Amino acid sequence: ATAEDLPDASFAGQQATFLNVRGKKDLVQAVKDCWASLFEPRAIFYRERKGFEHEKVLMSVIVQKMVDSESAGVMFTSNPVTNDESEISIEAAWGLGEAVVAGQVNPDRYLIDKETLGIKKKDVPRKDFMYIRDISTGKTVKENLTEETGSKQVLKEEDMQELARFGKTIEEHYNWPQDIEWA
């Protein structure tokens, strides 16, 4: 939506996302449902609270190939808590990113120094489940994690640094701090 991820209003999670859509009929329905999500009560309430005019909010729908990710999450090229532009914040969980962006899981959190790519801080909480694509049905399913996997750090240091490098490149291209979903 045209009002998503603005400096003073994120609109995160206000519009619908559909994973593992297969076939033309289901794709057309998913696009319609995505557009319709502009008018769900939570989206209307959020726009009202933030003072946005409903008729000025537009929606484009991105259709992309689904990736069976081992891990996924969100990266902010400026620390979203402190607004420190010298830090990159990465949130990571096992499986598809839906659990992270929907706020359903407490993800790993890593703070990276943007200049040196050094790891400044790691927080690795227990994760109870992940979302994956069921091979037989093609649908997204919730899978419980073992104690060992759920307690394990999701990203290796070199993965954090590679993501941070990508984040820096994207930020430089747009000349503005970015909120990036990755898998």
Please give the pLDDT value at position 117. Answer: 98
Q: What percent of the chain has pLDDT over 90?
A: 69
Residue 111 sits in a domain of what CATH number? 3.30.470.20
User: Which DSSP state fits 77?
Assistant: S
Query: What is the C-alpha separation between 123 and 87, in angstroms, rounded?
Result: 15
Q: What length is written for the chain?
A: 183
Same domain, 91 and 55: no
Which residues constitute the domain of residue 35?
1-66
Same domain, 54 and 88: no
| Domain C-terminal end among 34, 66, 98 | 66
Closest CA to 107 of 130, 91, 87: 91
Dihedral sign, Cα of residue 87, residue 93, residue 99, residue 103:
negative
* Shared-domain flag, residues 49 and 124: no
Which stretches within 109-156 are classed as H helix? 147-151
Q: Which of 24, 42, 66 is the last residue of a domain?
A: 66
* pTM for this entry: 0.83
Total structural domains within the chain: 2
One domain, residues 169 and 115: yes
pLDDT over 70 at 49, yes or no: yes
**Same domain, residue pair 160 and 88:** yes
Are 61 and 81 found together in one domain?
A: no
What is the per-residue pLDDT across 4-42, written as a single tens digit (0 to 9) for each?
A: 544 555 566 678 889 889 899 999 999 999 999 999 998
Does residue 2 surpass a pLDDT of 60? no
Q: Do 165 and 148 sit in the same domain of this protein? A: yes
- The mean pLDDT of the chain is 91
Residue 8: per-residue pLDDT: 57
Q: Are residues 89 and 148 in the same domain?
A: yes
Last residue of a domain, one of 66, 97, 123: 66
Structure token pair of residue 16: 């619908």
